[in-house]
C-alpha cells in the first residue's frame, strides 16, 4: 500500500498537515473550485507555459497547478538537506577528479570505461579547473518517498536543471489566493532564491573580473521548452537575457551587445547544452552558441555555469555508482539512498532485466523528461516486445530499476481530495562561499489516477511545496 503523506486510510492526519486538513474541512468546495480555475487563469495571464518538442498540435501548454500544498516538517527537511548537501559535494569532487587524476578510477571504485566511453564526458575539459573550483553551480536532486522516513534519490540534474521558476510562481500563486493559509502555518520562504542565485553566481566570477561581476543568462531562444524560465530568472535577477548572436569575443573576453557598445560578461548562466555552446570547438552546425567562448573559458576569461562537462553526472549509469562516489569523496556512507539499479551493459543484469521486464522501470542513461522510458507494469505486450528489442540491440544505453511504491499526496478534484503520486526536486546553489538549499523545491504530481509519471511533458502537474518552521 502506498504511503500517503497527509494521512492514513483510517482518517488520521499526519502532524505537518493538521492545520491544512482543518482548513479544508471548513472550506466551501465551490469556493475551492473557483480558486482552482483562478489559478489556471493566473498562470495563463503570466504566460507560465512550456513547449513540447515534436508535438504538432500544441507548441505551448499550460502547466497544471494543484492548489493543495505538499508539506514537509522541519525535521524531515533537516534530514533531507544534510543528504542533499553531502551528495552535491561528492558530485562536484567527482567532476573535478575525473577531469584530472581520476583517483576514483585508479582506486578501482569506478570502471574506466564509465568515464572514457561515456558520451557525456567532455575530454576538452581534461586538466581544467573552473573558477573557484565549482563545476555544479545550480543542481536539482530528484527525490521520491516510499515511507515516513524513507526517501530515495531518483536522479541527479547537474547540467541545466529546470523548474525553479515554477517553484517560485507556485508560491506566489498560493500567497495571492490563500493568504490565510500562511497565517495559520509557519512556512519557510523561497522568494530569496533569485537574489541568492545572482549572489552565488557572482561569487564564482573569474580572476579576470575587474569590478562588480556582470552576470547574464544565455538562452537558446523563444522556441526552447524552458524559455519562460530563462526570461523569468533573468528578470528576477535584474540581469540581461542574451542569445548566442548577442555575444562575441572582444579583447579575450566574452562581451554582450548593448546600446552603449559591447560590455564584457564575467559569469554566463547558460541554458544551452555543451554540444551547442561553441561551434568552433563542438558542433559546427550550432547557431545557438558563441564562436570562441570555450577558448575564453579555458583561458580564465569567463565563468560558465554550470561548467562544461557536468553532464556526465546526470548519466544514469554513473548514477548507479553514486553510493561509491559519495563514500569515496566524503569518507561517509550516503545519507540518501539510491534506487537499486541494474546496469544493462552487464550481461547478468541484462539477463535479469529481460526476464523481469514487466515488473521494472527501464530508462535511457542519457534520457530526461520522462522520454524514452518503459514502466513495465503499465506497458502493453507490444510495448514490452518493442523495448525488449531495444535492450537487446543497445544494452549499454539503458538501466533498470524496481517499480517503487511512491508516496501520494492529495490533489483537489471536483469530487474532493484524491491521492496522486509525487516526486520532489530541491534546488541547490554552490559557490566558494558554500552550499545553499532552498527550503522545499518543485513538487511534480502525476494527475492521472495510478500514474507514476510526473513530468509536465507527460501530463503531470505541479504543487507548492511547504517546509514548516521549527515547532
Q: What is the pLDDT of residues 139-184, one digit of tens each?
A: 999 999 999 999 999 999 999 899 999 999 999 999 999 999 998 8
From the candidate CATH numbers 3.90.700.10, 3.30.1490.270, 3.30.70.141, 3.40.50.2000, the one assigned to the domain spanning 342-402: 3.30.1490.270
Answer positive or negative: Cα dihedral of 129, 134, 140, 143: positive
Q: What is the pLDDT of residues 111-139, one digit of tens each?
A: 999 999 998 999 999 999 999 999 999 99
Summarize the confidence of residues 366-390 as an average pLDDT: 85
Q: What is the pLDDT of residues 47-102, one digit of tens each?
A: 776 555 445 454 566 788 999 999 999 999 999 999 999 999 999 999 999 999 99
The answer, yes or no, to whether residue 107 has pLDDT greater than 70, is: yes
H helices present in 307-374, as ranges: 316-319, 322-330, 347-355
Cell of 94: 567527482
The answer, yes or no, to whether residue 252 has pLDDT greater than 50, is: yes
The answer, yes or no, to whether residue 372 has pLDDT greater than 90, is: no
Summarize the confidence of residues 445-467 as an average pLDDT: 85
The answer, yes or no, to whether residue 330 has pLDDT greater than 90, is: yes
Q: What is the pLDDT of residues 231-242, one digit of tens each?
A: 999 999 999 999
- The DSSP bridge partners found for residue 152 are 144, 337
The answer, yes or no, to whether residue 380 has pLDDT greater than 50, is: yes
Q: What is the pLDDT of residue 208?
A: 87
Residue spans of the domains in the chain: they are: 15-99+133-189+406-467, 342-402
Q: What is the pLDDT of residue 50?
A: 57
Summarize the confidence of residues 196-219 as an average pLDDT: 96
Answer positive or negative: Cα dihedral of 175, 167, 223, 451: negative
Q: What is the pLDDT of residue 246?
A: 97
- 3-state SS, residue 344: coil
Least confident of 295-309, 358-372, 385-399, 416-430: 358-372
Summarize the confidence of residues 428-441 as an average pLDDT: 97
Sequence-separated (6 or more) residues with CB below 8 Å from residue 247: 218, 254, 255, 256, 257, 265, 290, 293
Q: What is the pLDDT of residue 123?
A: 95
Q: What is the pLDDT of residue 223?
A: 87
Q: What is the pLDDT of residue 53?
A: 46
pTM: 0.93
Which is more confidently placed, 87 or 41? 87
Amino acid at each position: 500500500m502506498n504511503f500517503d503523506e497527509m494521512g492514513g486510510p483510517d482518517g488520521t492526519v499526519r502532524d505537518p498537515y493538521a492545520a491544512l486538513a482543518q482548513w479544508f474541512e471548513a472550506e466551501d468546495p465551490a469556493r475551492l473550485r473557483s480558486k482552482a480555475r483562478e489559478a489556471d487563469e493566473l498562470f495563463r495571464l503570466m504566460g507560465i507555459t512550456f513547449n513540447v518538442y515534436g508535438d504538432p498540435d500544441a507548441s505551448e501548454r499550460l502547466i497544471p497547478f494543484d492548489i493543495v500544498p505538499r508539506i514537509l516538517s522541519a525535521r524531515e527537511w533537516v534530514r533531507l538537506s544534510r543528504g542533499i548537501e553531502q551528495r552535491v559535494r561528492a558530485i562536484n569532487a567527482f567532476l573535478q577528479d575525473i577531469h584530472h587524476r581520476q583517483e576514483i578510477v585508479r582506486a578501482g571504485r569506478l570502471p574506466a570505461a564509465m568515464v572514457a566511453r561515456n558520451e557525456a564526458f567532455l575530454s576538452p575539459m581534461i586538466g581544467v579547473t573552473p573558477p573557484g573550483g565549482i563545476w555544479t553551480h545550480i543542481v536539482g536532486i530528484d527525490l521520491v518517498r516510499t515511507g515516513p522516513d524513507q526517501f530515495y534519490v531518483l536522479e541527479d540534474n547537474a547540467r541545466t536543471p529546470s523548474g525553479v521558476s515554477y517553484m517560485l510562481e507556485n508560491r506566489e500563486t498560493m500567497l495571492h489566493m490563500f493568504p490565510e493559509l500562511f497565517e495559520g502555518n509557519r512556512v519557510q520562504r523561497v522568494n530569496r532564491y533569485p537574489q541568492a542565485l545572482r549572489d552565488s553566481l557572482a561569487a564564482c566570477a573569474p580572476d579576470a573580473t575587474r569590478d562588480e561581476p556582470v552576470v547574464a543568462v544565455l538562452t537558446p531562444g523563444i522556441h526552447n521548452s524552458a524559455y519562460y524560465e530563462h526570461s523569468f530568472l533573468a528578470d528576477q535577477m535584474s540581469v540581461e537575457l542574451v542569445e548566442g548572436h548577442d555575444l562575441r569575443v572582444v579583447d579575450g573576453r566574452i562581451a554582450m551587445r548593448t546600446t552603449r557598445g559591447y560590455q564584457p560578461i564575467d559569469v554566463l548562466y547558460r541554458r544551452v547544452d555543451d554540444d551547442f555552446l561553441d561551434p568552433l570547438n563542438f558542433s559546427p552546425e550550432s547557431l545557438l552558441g558563441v564562436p570562441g567562448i570555450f577558448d575564453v573559458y579555458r583561458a580564465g576569461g569567463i565563468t560558465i555555469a554550470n561548467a562544461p562537462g557536468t553532464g556526465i553526472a546526470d548519466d544514469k549509469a554513473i548514477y548507479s555508482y553514486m553510493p561509491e562516489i559519495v563514500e569515496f569523496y566524503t569518507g561517509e556512507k550516503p545519507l540518501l539512498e539510491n534506487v537499486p539499479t541494474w546496469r544493462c551493459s552487464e550481461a547478468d543484469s541484462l539477463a535479469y532485466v529481460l526476464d523481469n521486464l514487466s515488473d521494472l522501470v527501464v530508462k535511457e542513461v542519457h534520457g530526461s523528461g520522462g522520454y524514452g522510458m518503459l514502466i513495465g507494469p503499465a506497458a502493453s505486450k507490444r510495448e514490452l516486445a518493442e523495448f525488449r528489442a531495444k535492450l537487446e540491440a543497445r544494452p549499454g544505453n539503458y538501466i533498470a530499476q524496481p517499480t517503487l511504491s511512491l508516496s501520494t499526496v492529495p490533489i483537489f478534484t471536483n469530487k474532493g481530495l484524491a491521492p496522486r503520486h509525487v516526486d520532489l526536486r530541491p534546488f541547490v546553489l554552490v559557490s566558494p562561499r558554500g552550499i545553499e538549499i532552498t527550503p522545499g523545491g518543485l513538487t511534480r504530481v502525476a494527475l492521472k489516477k495510478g500514474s507514476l509519471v510526473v513530468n509536465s511533458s507527460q501530463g503531470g502537474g505541479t504543487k507548492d511545496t511547504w517546509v514548516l518552521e521549527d515547532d
